[in-house]
Amino acid sequence: MSVASAKASYARTLKERVTLRRYTGSGTNRPRFDAENIRARTVGYEPHELVGTIVQGDRKMIVFADDLIAKGFALPVTANDKVWMRGKEMAIIAPDDSTRRVDGVLIAIELQVRG
C-alpha cells in the first residue's frame, strides 16, 4: 500500500470528530491549545487485550495525523495531552506513533485513552 492510498483510506474511514488538547504551565487557569475537529475512530478493547496497562473501560483511538499537523498540533502526542470526545475529557495513557506508518511516513496515531 502506498502512502497516498493509506492516507486516503484513513481519511475515508475515520468518521468520528475529536479534539486533542495540550495544556501548558500549571494551575487552574493554565493555557491550553486545542486541535479541534480531528478525524478519529474509537473502539473498546477485547477481553483478551486487557493486559499490562490496559484496563477494562479503556478505549483504543486512532487519530489522523494529517489533521493534527494541519491544525498546528506539535507532534509527538504525549501522555500529558488529553482528548475531548463526546463532551468528556479523556486521559491519554499510551500514544503509539509507530504502528500506523507506511514506508516510514506517519499516517495515524493509535492512542490508549481512559476516562
Query: Of 72, 86, 91, 88, which Cα lies nearest the Cα of 33?
Result: 72
HSE-CB at 113 with a 13 A cutoff on CA atoms is 27
Say what the pLDDT of residue 27 is.
85
Q: Are 72 and 31 in contact (CB under 8 A)?
A: no
DSSP tally for the chain: helices H, then strands E: 2, 8
Q: Are 13 and 41 in contact (CB under 8 A)?
A: yes
Say what the pLDDT of residue 26 is.
86
When pLDDT is cut at 50, 70 and 90, the band that residue 2 belongs to is very high
* Spatial distance between the Cα atoms of 21 and 7, rounded to a whole number of angstroms: 23
Say what the pLDDT of residue 1 is.
86
Domain boundaries, the chain: 3-114
